[in-house]
């Protein structure tokens, strides 16, 4: 598993039933995200693959995919060298994935006292 990751946000297509919406989320996480942290403990009755933001008792570990069910977005880490155009194309080929859009925040430089 790659150790260097970057965060992406997938905008999920609207209009899916809850079952199809969560099935698409599971397919995206299984297909594109490194394995989530074993430390994350999803709420009872939810997926072990990602946290649903509205059900999360606290913030998720950085390597845990998080589904924001109020905005229909999935934020998750992907390997740092992931080609985002290829990721978007592959995601759109998934069942119910036709309207998916991928966004990646710009990487910000941080200053360290050594630099």
Taking CA 101 as the corner, what is the angle to CA 98 and CA 105, rounded to the nearest 5 degrees? 165
Question: Collapsing DSSP states into helix, strand and coil, what is residue 86?
Answer: helix
Residue with tokens 């080609």: 83
Question: Which pLDDT tens digit goes with each residue over 12-42?
Answer: 998 899 899 899 999 999 998 876 544 444 4
The Cα 94–Cα 98 span in angstroms is: 7
What is the reported pLDDT for 44?
42
0.85 exceeded by pTM: no
The Cα 54–Cα 93 span in angstroms is: 28
CB 30 within 8 Å of CB 47: no
Question: Which pLDDT tens digit goes with each residue over 95-112?
Answer: 999 999 999 876 554 444
């Amino acid at each position: 598993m790659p150790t260097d990751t970057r965060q992406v946000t997938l905008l999920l297509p609207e209009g899916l039933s809850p079952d199809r919406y969560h099935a698409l989320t599971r397919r995206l996480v299984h297909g594109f995200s490194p394995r989530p942290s074993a430390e994350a403990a999803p709420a009872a009755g939810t997926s072990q693959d990602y946290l649903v933001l509205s059900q999360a008792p606290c913030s998720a570990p950085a390597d845990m995919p998080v589904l924001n069910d109020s905005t229909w977005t999935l934020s998750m880490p992907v390997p740092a060298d992931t080609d985002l155009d290829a990721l978007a194309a592959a995601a759109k080929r998934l069942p119910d994935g036709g309207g998916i859009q991928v966004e990646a925040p710009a990487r910000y430089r941080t200053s360290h006292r050594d630099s």
